Structure 1
C-alpha cells in the first residue's frame, strides 16, 4: 500500500498542474486567436466598421444582431495608439478595451461621456504621451478596442454607420 502513495501524490500534483496551466493559458490563447482574426480583416491599429452580424458573417462567437460593431486590433510594439469613439446620438454606445488576456482595461459609454466623444491613448507603462492626453496603461502590447452601438431598429444601420465611421484607431508619435 505504501508504494502507491508516492505515485498517487505525483499523479494528483500533475493533474493539478495541468488543470491550472490550462486555466491560466486559455484566456491568452482565445484572445490571441481573436486578435489574429480581427487583424487579418483590417490590419493593426486601425478601426474596422463591421457590417451587421449574421450567423454567417461572425468573426467572434455570439455577436449580438442588435449591435453595430467597430473593432481595432492594436499592437503597441512601435508606440502608443490613439482611439477615438465618436458619439452616436439617440443610441447607447460603448467603447471597451481588452488586453491580451481578455481582461477589460477600459470601458466608457455614452452615459459616462454625456454625449461627448471618448478619446484615449493606449500605451504600455514605459511609453510616454504628451500632457493632457487621457492615457490607458496597458499591461500587454496587444489587445482589442471594441466600439458597440445598440440599434433601435436594424433599418437604421446605415445612418448609425455614418457616425461610426468617424471613430478611429491609429498610431501616434511617441513624445
Structure 2
C-alpha cells in the first residue's frame, strides 16, 4: 500500500515537472511569434505603415481599425536607434518592444511631448558612452535604454475621422527611423 502511494506520488511529481518544463520551453520553439511577424514586414531601419484591417478580414496583429499604425525595426548593435518626425495634432502613442514582444518603453503625446517625436533607443553600453559624453546626440532627444539589441517600435495615430486615415498614414511614412551614424 505504501509502495503504491510512493509510486503514485513520484508519478504525479514527475508529471508536474515535465508539464512545467514543456510550458516554459514552448515559446522558444514557436515559429509564429511577434518578432517573425514584424520581420516579415521588412521594416528594418524604415517605417512601414500597416494596412488598416477591414471588417470581416483576418487581423492577425489584432490592430484597431480606427487607428493608423507604423512599425520599425532597429538593431542596436549597428549603433543607437532613432525614431523622429512630426506627427499630426491628434492622439498618438509609441511603444518600443524587445524581440519577445514585451514593451520596454511607452509614451503618448499627452505626456507633454507635443507633435514632435524625437526618441533615441540605446543599449546599455551606448547609454554608458552617452553618460560619459562620448556620444553626440541631438538636444531634446528622449533616451530609452534597451536591455537587448533587437527592438522594434510601434507608432499609433488616432485620426479624429476615418476620412483622415490616408493623411495620417502619410505622416507616419515620413518618420525617420534607423541607426544614428
Name the TM tier (shorter chain).
0.7 to 0.9
Q: State the alpha-carbon separation in 1 of the partners of residues 38 and 159 from structure 2.
A: 22
TM-score if structure 1 supplies the norm length? 0.79
Give the conservation status (yes or no) of the 8 Å contact 1:85–1:95: no
Deviation at 1:79, TM superposition (A): 1.8
Task: Decide whether the 8 Å contact of 1:87 with 1:110 is kept in 2.
Answer: no
Residue 107 of structure 1 corresponds to which residue in structure 2? 106
Kept in 2, the 8 Å contact 1:122–1:138? The answer is yes
Unaligned runs of 5+ in 2: 130-134
What corresponds to 1:40 in structure 2? 40
Q: Quickly say closer, same or farther: Cα 1:29–1:107, change in 2 above 3 A.
A: farther
Q: Which residue of the partner structure matches residue 138 of structure 1?
A: 146
Give the one of 147, 156, 168 matched to 1:160.
Answer: 168
* Matches of 2:58 and 2:178, distance apart in 1: 25
- How far apart are the structure 2 equivalents of 1:114 and 1:137? 18
| Distance in 2 (alpha carbons) for counterparts of 1:121 and 1:75 | 13
How far off is 1:35 after superposition?
Answer: 2.6
Cα distance change of structure 1 residues 19 and 29 upon mapping to structure 2, 3 Å threshold? closer
Moved more, 49-58 or 136-145: 49-58
Match of 2:15 in 1: 11
Q: Report which of the two structures shows the higher radius of gyration computed on alpha carbons.
A: 2
**1:72 maps to 2:72:** yes
Matched-pair contact (CA < 8 Å) for 2:99–2:150: yes
Q: Deviations over 1:128-157 (max 9, x none)?
A: 442554321111122220111112221112
Aligned residues: 167
Alpha-carbon distance between aligned partners in 1 of 2:38 and 2:62, rounded to the nearest angstrom: 15
Aligned equivalents of 1:20 and 1:137: distance in 2? Answer: 27
Q: Compared with structure 1, are the counterparts of its residues 151 and 116 closer, same or farther at alpha carbon in structure 2 (3 Å cutoff)?
A: closer
